[in-house]
Chains A and B, each alone.
Chain A
Amino acid sequence: MVLYKQVNGERVQLSEEEEAATRAEWAANEQEAADNAWLEGRLSEYPQIGDQLDMLWHSMDAGEIPGKGFEWYDSIKAIKDKYPKPSK
């Protein structure tokens, strides 16, 4: 398939040199994307940072991991107590 660039509305066929460079760059980018697919997958599915921190807090609160009594745990708890979640 011949490649074109569009310059100010005019389609211009890429020179052999330009086409070779373009296809090489595309191939390199596709390889890089394939190599990093695991990372992109993780990043796209990790919970939001706030949700992750909330999970940690609840684990501390449940005693699953240490943290109760430390400043970070206590400061979050103080806010939660100030604005209690309504019971349904």
Chain B
Amino acid sequence: MATNNSIGLKDSGLASYDGDGTFAGRTVTAGSSKLSVSNGDGISGDPTVDAVEANFTHDNIGGTLGIAKGGTGQTTATEAFDALAPTTTKGDVIVSNGSDNVRVAVGTNDQVLTADSSEASGVKWADAGGGGGLVYITSLTASNDATLDFENKFSSTYDNYLFVFNNILPATDGADLQIRMGTGAGPTYITSNDYWHAAVDGADAQTSYGRISDAVASSTNAHGVSGYMYLYDAYSSSVYKHYTSFSNYYYQFQANFKSRGGTCATTSTLTGLRFFFSSGNVTSGTIRLYGIVNS
């Protein structure tokens, strides 16, 4: 049977005094498997507390590891990357200066990143050299279609556009490749006699369409019309719409080349450009549309 000793304790172990005249027996224990306690009651010697390193994992340690300790101080991938990145402003880029990753501040609108070994970072923002160039927008490939319509492809980004046509084959022998321009929502294609066009060998009559080629052979062996057409100021709302076309094709045992210029008497912004033959479907062929960079 336990008996009280001289200071009133009846339990074995460490003595704890509450400051108010009472002692109690206590034992040191581990709060989790991350710690081990030996001789917790101190009876056989001094209690020892040790960390069980094997039980410490990155997932069961609270808090975050700061950059100074090799971490990021953050808890999400985006925040962690942001904490390490030197960038500060929209459009900034990170490049290597040969030893460190450093910030290159964003340039001004329309500049391009250019390699320059004299710069500390090895690159700089500069105006695009030479300017110009083509930007592919879209293409249409015919498959027995009455018309090929490019709609809502013009914008203020480009003043001028280039259509390149490959082997546009008519279903009807002797048909002419033609265009119409569309305006407004929809769009509505202009079918009134508002097109003037001329070839190098003379002016054509005023018509309800723009003419690209003359008669084209429908034989697949003739491979239709190939060529290109420039369209000017398509998005303008103040000038007539001009075009210039060059086309090669074959008809009745003759190779033909036709260069034409034309105008559609509308100042409205173009919202559509339609290719078609004077009779019959477009059997096959591809037309690609490019924007011509302003500069």
Report the Cα distance A40→B143, complex, angstroms.
Answer: 29
Report the Cα distance A26→B142, complex, angstroms.
Answer: 18
Residue numbers in B under 8 Å from A3 (CB-CB): 146, 281
Bitwise, B136-176 to A at CB < 8 A (1) or not (0) is: 00101011111111111100000000000000000010111
Query: Are the CB atoms of B140 and A6 closer together than 8 Å?
Result: yes
- Known contacts A26-B280, A30-B279; decide if A7 and B151 are in contact (CB<8 Å): yes
- Closest residue of chain A to B176 (Cβ to Cβ) is A29
Query: Are the CB atoms of B140 and A9 closer together than 8 Å?
Result: yes
Interface centre among A6, A11, A22, A29 (most CB of B within 10 A): A6
Per the 8 Å Cβ criterion, residues 225-244 of B in contact with A are: none
Query: Are the CB atoms of B172 and A30 closer together than 8 Å?
Result: yes
Chain A residues touching B, range: 10 to 19
Query: Are the CB atoms of B278 and A8 closer together than 8 Å?
Result: no
CB of A44 to closest CB in B, whole Å: 7
Query: Are the CB atoms of B145 and A4 closer together than 8 Å?
Result: yes
Interface residues of B, CB < 8 Å — how many?
25
Q: A6-B143, A29-B176 are in contact. List 15 more A-B contacts (CB 8 A).
A: A3-B146, A4-B145, A5-B145, A6-B148, A6-B149, A8-B138, A8-B150, A9-B140, A11-B145, A26-B278, A29-B278, A30-B279, A33-B174, A33-B215, A33-B279
A-B contacts, 29 of them at CB < 8 A, read A3-B146, A3-B281, A4-B146, A5-B145, A5-B149, A6-B142, A6-B148, A6-B149, A7-B151, A8-B138, A8-B140, A8-B149, A8-B150, A8-B152, A9-B138, A11-B145, A14-B146, A22-B146, A26-B172, A26-B278, A26-B280, A27-B279, A29-B278, A29-B279, A30-B279, A33-B174, A33-B279, A40-B215, A44-B252
The residues of B with any CB-CB pair to A shorter than 8 Å are 138, 140, 142-153, 172, 174-176, 215, 252, 254, 278-281
